[in-house]
Structure 1
Amino acid sequence: MSTDYQQARVAFGISLRELRLTCPSGRLTGTQLASALGWPHSKIYKCEGGKQTITDDDLRRWVDACGQPDKFDGMLARLRGFESQIRSWRRQLSSGHSPVQDSWNVEVSRSRVICAWEESVIPGMLQTADYARHVFMRYGAFFGTAQDADEAVRTRAKRQAWLYEGGHTLKVVVWEAALRALICPPPVLDAQLDRLAGLVGMNSVELGIVPFAASLKLPTANGFWIFDERLVVTEDWHAELWLDDADNIRLYSSVWAALQESAVYGADAHSVIHAARRSLNPR
């Protein structure tokens, strides 16, 4: 979790505590507020201490219980402001994977140059439908989220049209591990690698592969995407981070440049892809 995000959550918790202590009818103890809301006592102090993020509905109930419903709109705006930086998978996937893809499609459509690094999967904008379906199915099974893999595949596929529109460039660097990870059956991965090989040399795609044997300036780590030097999106197991501050954008741009120096392109990239395909069908 980012330091800025945690500081914002702690500050928000202090505001919640102030509401409790400034009730028009007299200050409430944490125990009294918990009783009024029907919550465990610990939830009050987790929210006030910045250890738990309050939901929109819980915020409404909190301000009402404290007799200050007029404070709801302002506090909701603050809550949504800092939550826009860290997007919990639990919340995002409550309606399935397709809405998440819609959010990505909006950012892709706004961009002219996208730089991406992926260490474990083929980048979404380059995935075949079958490969993407298996990725969504694996995440859906793990998180216990709505099984809308087919709809998510269709939504993700829409952003691939961006590659064929003039004036756009996708600069993507992929670790060789992503070419060999069996997140799907071998025939599906083979077809995916065939598509990847076909993209080498495409005008709107600069595809670099970092071979296992390459010397690295930095360890490989989580994948991330940089949109026009205005937004970085990176993933962890608990959430997506959407970072739009200049310092983080410069940091991720420097990381991408360092990883890109280890990549091979053109015929050398073809060789790494074909080696991965041969490993699927040993003779």
Structure 2
Amino acid sequence: MTQSGLVPDGITPSGPAGSHNAFVTLVTNADYAMGATALARSIRLTNTLADIVVLHTGGVNASALEPLIALGCRLAATDLLPLSDAFNERHGRKNVHDTAPFTKGRKPDFHSPLDNFCKLRLWQLTEYDRCIFIDADALVLKNIDRFFAYPEFSAAPNVYESLADFHRLNSGVFVAQPSRRTFETMLTRLDAPDAFWPRTDQTFLEKFFPDWHGLPVTMNMLQYVWFNMPELWDWASIGVLHYQYEKPWEKDHPKEQRLRPLVNLWHAFFTGENLPDIANLPNPGPPNPD
């Protein structure tokens, strides 16, 4: 419920808010429900007092959400954004992947670009003072509550191959202040005539917030850093580990063996068994030439 007592259009929370702040993620299918389960457990283990809100679309059945309910998450049924047919056609999976192909890694078959824009419904959660959005393919490795004090819009750079990418943000983790007015402005800007956002929500948010504030790379440590830039990797300092491109629950994905320690860590959080002492895990060695 919002402060006015009304449920905003397109989003239906399962119950009242329990905190002034919330971690928010998005689940659009059964695969990301598995990811969100590991994420929610990892957040719970940090002893945060913030809510965990799971936005979920019609692509997720009730049984896939049951583990999230068991972890005390606040579910929010979420409609797709009210966008034009032309916008939806431009941002269909085939068109996005053909027009702006992923050349550094492989997106799984369940990746649906249009679903990504549902992240923007976070700005409808006006019962919260601040939200930290975290993609469902991520883990929180230590308490990060201090980042609720960061301003809107804060995000980490999209660094996973070289420092040249420090000027680009990655929308897998960001700090935002919910606002109905901001949400309405976003919808207008998003669906402008002929607008095309090649990396969907990430490209849009970078344009909408051109003066975005920087979070440390450790707040969104992208998994390819493990083998591309191992000198940046320090387990003790990582707040959020983000499994961009291939997902740790996929079977035999192309980089599974190179990322084996990270894949094993995700499975430990997913099952809740054999969780290691994160700070004492061995850091990667120097990169191997291809």
TM-score by length of 2: 0.25
Q: Which has the higher helix share?
A: 1
Larger Rg: 1
Indicate the structure whose relative CO is greater, using CA pairs within 8 Å and at least 6 residues apart. 2
